Chain A
């Protein structure tokens, strides 16, 4: 009898906790897309809400009562939106290029030789491709070798993506097993990344603004999938939401698409290999930094 009571009590507690988490998520959703409220404002408000709930729970209130009281104290989304709207955020509505540059240099200044090793491997592969192109008559075998090298190079880019992500999140890749565990994720990352670029480029052929908009809103999808193990739909929603307030990303997306268009133009020239490498490394590093900025917030300091 006693045992069954324990089981029932645990089950009820689990349902209640689940309900609370869901309620907090729903409460946060009320602030999405509200004018003047950034994702970080919502994060700050939700942290406040959670602390208030915890306080009421300590006083012995149920999850539901604690949630009700805490949300009442915080005020309605409309009132909060009204107050946030009064702020002049025109200057802060986006990431400044200086901030991105600052993060970039601070990251690479504090790292070991991983970036150098990857750059070296990448450069080595380009040089081999270049050398083959100039010194051999193109036969099916040589063409095959070049394709293999091309794929190898993109594999390195995939690994570089993982490295860049680890760098921006200040995590060290200490063992090869970390990379081994993420190989499938890296391949998936490359496929999703490719399709996001392809769709943006195709859209841009017809109309530049929808193309740039699409890239701006969804270029973080592969990063979110790689890092948060989300499914495609959930990653698209997150990416759409995270990039909503960042005007800087319009320029970043436009730059990316212009660079990509230029690559398409020079595709049949031998020096496209150098340009391609530059573009991919540029895109990888900056996307990682922006992803980091939008999901972790800078400057981050440990307690």
Chain B
């Protein structure tokens, strides 16, 4: 059972991926592990669905990829943020900050406990 709603997961996917890749290049499996770890298991992605999203971001030139061959001769595709991606991340950060401030303001005083 996912802690977050499906819509919220979908909306956060792009900024999450860009923010993770801002920390350095990474590959699909490790990105999912990072998200799982950072959200303490509350944000669950269907693993296979991250790749179409990564490919879409690549098409939009927000990230770039390269294949790296490892000692066991297997290949792994690494993704990294582009300059356009960095700019997009800044935009996302600004938007999320504004949305968050607005929500905080509206939610303030609601009789719910977290």
- Residue ranges of A at the interface with B (Cβ–Cβ < 8 Å): 40-41, 43-45, 47-48, 51-52, 73-75, 79-80, 83-84, 86-89, 92, 296-303
Contact = CB atoms under 8 A, between A and B. Distances in A.
B46 A79 contact: yes
A87 B48 contact: no
B51 A44 contact: yes
13 contacts: A41-B55, A43-B75, A44-B28, A48-B28, A48-B51, A80-B48, A83-B53, A84-B52, A87-B56, A296-B75, A299-B67, A301-B68, A301-B69
Contact of A303 (B28, B49, B70): B70
3 closest residue pairs by CB, A with B: A83-B52, A75-B48, A74-B48
Interface of B: 28-29, 46-49, 51-53, 55-56, 59, 66-71, 74-77
B42 to A, nearest CB: 16
A108 B56 CA distance: 34
Contacts, number: 73
B51 A47 contact: no
Given A297-B67, A301-B66, 16 more contacts: A41-B51, A43-B75, A44-B28, A45-B51, A48-B28, A48-B47, A52-B47, A75-B46, A80-B48, A84-B55, A88-B59, A89-B59, A299-B66, A299-B67, A300-B68, A301-B69
Nearest to A91: B59
A83 B75 contact: no
B26 to A, nearest CB: 13
Contacts of B46: 73-75, 79
Contact of A87 (B28, B52, B68): B52
A89 B60 CA distance: 11
A43 B73 CA distance: 13
Contacts of B47: 48, 52, 73-75
B24 to A, nearest CB: 15
A300 B67 contact: yes
A298 to B, nearest CB: 8
A48 B27 CA distance: 9
A83 B29 contact: no
Contacts of B53: 83
Given A299-B67, A300-B69, A47 B75 contact: yes
A86 to B, nearest CB: 7
Contacts of B77: 40, 44
B38 to A, nearest CB: 17
Contacts of A52: 29, 47
A297 B75 contact: yes
Contact of B49 (A83, A296, A297, A302): A83
A217 to B, nearest CB: 24
A79 to B, nearest CB: 7
